[in-house]
C-alpha cells in the first residue's frame, strides 16, 4: 500500500488537477466445508487513467492440507477437450455468439481461435463457474465474462465427487 500512496503523491506533484485514486480489495468466503474452502478475491483500482479496473480471482483449497484444488484434482485425466467443448457452448450463449462464429473475429483473444477455460474457477453448489476478467480474453470495453457449467453436463469427467457440494 505504501507504494500505491507514493505513486499517487508523485502523480499529484506532476499533475495537481488529477482526481483521487482508489484501491479496494475484498475477500469473500464462497464455500467452507471440511474438504473445500473457496474464496473470491475482488480488486478494484483507479489510478487516473481512462477508466477504472477490476478483477475477480477464485481460490479453491483443501483446508486440511492447505493445498490448492486444481481442475486436474477434480476431473479425470484428459478432461480438457471435452470440458472446453461444453464450456464453449455456455460462453457463446453468454456472449450471444453463433455456434460457427469465429471467436477472434468477434473480438476475443483465444489462441488459434480455440476456446479454452482458464484456471479462474470456483466450485459452486450448481456447477463450476469460470470467470474471465477484463483484458483477459477481450478488450476492456467487452467487460468480464462469467460462465457456469452445471455438474450434470460433465458428470463423466468428474474424478473426485467428494469435492462437490452435497446435492
Domains in the chain, ordered, with CATH?
2-163 (3.90.640.20)
The answer for residues whose C-beta is within 8 angstroms of residue 60's C-beta and 6 or more apart is 36, 37, 38, 39, 68, 69, 121, 122, 123
C-alpha cell at 123: 466450485
* pLDDT > 90? residue 101: yes
pTM of the model: 0.90
Identify the CA nearest to 91 among candidates 110, 69, 78: 110
37-83 pLDDT per residue, tens: 999 999 999 988 889 999 999 999 999 999 999 999 999 999 999 99
Q: What are phi and psi of 128, to 5 degrees?
A: -85, 135
Q: 13-22, 58-67, 144-153 — which is least confidently predicted?
A: 13-22
Helix, coil or strand: residue 54: strand
Q: Is pLDDT larger for residue 35 or for residue 17?
A: 35
Amino acid at each position: 500500500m505504501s507504494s500505491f500512496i507514493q505513486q499517487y503523491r508523485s502523480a499529484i506533484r506532476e499533475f495537481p488537477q488529477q482526481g483521487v485514486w482508489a484501491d479496494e480489495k475484498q475477500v469473500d468466503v464462497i464455500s467452507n466445508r471440511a474438504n473445500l474452502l473457496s474464496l473470491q478475491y475482488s480488486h478494484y483500482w483507479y489510478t487516473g487513467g481512462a477508466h477504472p479496473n477490476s478483477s475477480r480471482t477464485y481460490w479453491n483449497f483443501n483446508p486440511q492440507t492447505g493445498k490448492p484444488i486444481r481442475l486436474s484434482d477434480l476431473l479425470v485425466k484428459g478432461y480438457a477437450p471435452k470440458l472446453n467443448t461444453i464450456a464453449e457452448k455456455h460462453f457463446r450463449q453468454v456472449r450471444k455468439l453463433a455456434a460457427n462464429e469465429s471467436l477472434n473475429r468477434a473480438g476475443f483473444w483465444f489462441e488459434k481461435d480455440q476456446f479454452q477455460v482458464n484456471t479462474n474457477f470456483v466450485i459452486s453448489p450448481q456447477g463450476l463457474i469460470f470467470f474471465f476478467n477484463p483484458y483477459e480474453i477481450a478488450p476492456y470495453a467487452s467487460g468480464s465474462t462469467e460462465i457456469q457449467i452445471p455438474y450434470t453436463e460433465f458428470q463423466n469427467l468428474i474424478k473426485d465427487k467428494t469435492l462437490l457440494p452435497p446435492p
